[in-house]
Amino acid sequence: MTSHSLALLSLKSSPFPQKPVLFLSMFSVALQAPLSTQYLWDRISEDLGFNGSRRSECSNSSVPPDPLQKEVETLTAHWNLYISLGFFLVGIMVVPLLGSWSDMAGRRPVLILPNIGLALQAVVYLVVMYLKLPVVYFLVGRLLSGLSGDFNAILAGISGSFRDVGQHHWSYINPFWLVLATNVASALYAFLFVHESVYPDPSAKLLTARHHKAVWHLYSTGGSSGEDGGRLRRCKLWLYTLCFFLVVTVHFGSRDLFVLYELSSPLCWGSALIGYGSAAQHLAYLSSLLGLKVMQRCLKDSWVALVGLASNITGLVVFSVADTTELMFTGYGLCFLFMAATPVLRSKLSKLVGPSEQGALFASVACVESLCFLVGSSIFNSLYPASLHFMKGFPFLFAALVLFIPAGIIGWVCAFILFIVFLILNR
């Protein structure tokens, strides 16, 4: 799941014709994310001769852990990291081009191209599964998706158990056919029904340094228009971008570990429970959206973001000590508002620039998201195997601690505003 599920919270403000594109793309990404990790786990387990998660004594703490389990966990985490790294190196160059280019060439191409790339990725994954090719070919699929901008580019313009336990790795094929069909449908819908919101400039070029310069100009000057003066606007851009970076890095990094954490002891979840856990995680996007609408009626945006961060922090702390199914689902329940901060930060960034700079802003935010994907995957997929010997859930605790930084920044801004209001009222 690329940044990918974050768009659910943007549906409420997007034009109607674009909503099906966002939903279909989000659905395909959310569907394949946990399945990819499970497939890597099964293939690596098969190669190493490990089937500990299927032993009856897997969740029995009195039985010494199988040494192969740690190797499987480590290799799966590292392969997640390698795939993320390859995707980042391509996406960091492509996304700024697409985002800034869309300000001149139009938004529709940026809705169509990434879906084609995601469909090609699904085709590569299916070929790997049918032919049982080495998992390194998953990297080829991610590179193809990265070349088209992936789900981050789409932001410009059902979870559950899909596996039959008895069918081994072949049971991944049907879900990925669904992923492929969804991406093709999304691309066709964008081509046929989405109306252009920007008057296209036929002379607009994609491969030019101008697009990267537009992103640099935005952050070096604060943009040409917005709510505040240039210097204050530039300061806010950097602060809110830093908050966005930390929040999304934690989101991507911790998300990579949920399936690994649940597959191994002491939880030893099967595909059904992993499906329910994924469903609970994605229901939190809906509850965050509902909570966002309710809280915005009585709270300022900054306070809404703080409530969302508090929900995320408490849930991560519970995950860090979860050694039973009940505790794990308690953590999912506490995270029911964990995504409320992200759309607030997006909204604050969007309000700081003018309409003609929205594409450049999107490009910069998408680059930040790609960087979040790399940094989150690098830190958490490295930290997880390194902390297995002293605290398996330590990466979740570390994630909770990181979130105190954006909470502090946003809280400081809130306190400063309250102080100014207090001075004005007491003059």
* Residue 64 binned pLDDT confidence (cut-offs 50, 70, 90): low
Looking at domain 4-197+226-425, its CATH superfamily turns out to be MFS general substrate transporter like domains (1.20.1250.20)
Listed residue (374, 365, 393) closest to 155, CA to CA: 365
pLDDT at site 202: 65
> What span, in angstroms and rounded, lies between the C-alpha atoms of 311 and 407?
12
> What span, in angstroms and rounded, lies between the C-alpha atoms of 112 and 136?
27
pLDDT tens for each residue of 98-118: 766 766 767 677 778 888 888
> What span, in angstroms and rounded, lies between the C-alpha atoms of 358 and 164?
45
Listed residue (208, 213, 214, 99) closest to 149, CA to CA: 99
Q: What angle do CA 341, 346, 351 make, to 5 degrees?
A: 125
Q: Which amino acid is at 405?
A: I
Residues 160-166: contacts with CB under 8 Å, at least 24 apart:
160/275, 160/276, 160/278, 160/279, 161/271, 161/272, 161/274, 161/275, 161/276, 162/31, 162/35, 162/271, 162/275, 163/35, 163/38, 163/271, 163/275, 165/270, 165/271, 165/272
State the DSSP code for 194. P
Residue 55: φ, ψ to 5° = -80, 145
Q: Which conformational region is residue 2 in: left (phi greater than 0), alpha (psi within -120 to 50 degrees), or beta?
A: beta
Listed residue (93, 117, 116, 99) closest to 204, CA to CA: 99
**pLDDT averaged over every residue in the chain:** 79
* Residue 232 binned pLDDT confidence (cut-offs 50, 70, 90): confident
Residues 317, 391: contact at Cβ < 8 Å?
no
Residues 122-149 have a mean pLDDT of: 88
Tell whether the model's pLDDT for residue 177 goes beyond 50: yes
Residues 263, 53: contact at Cβ < 8 Å?
yes
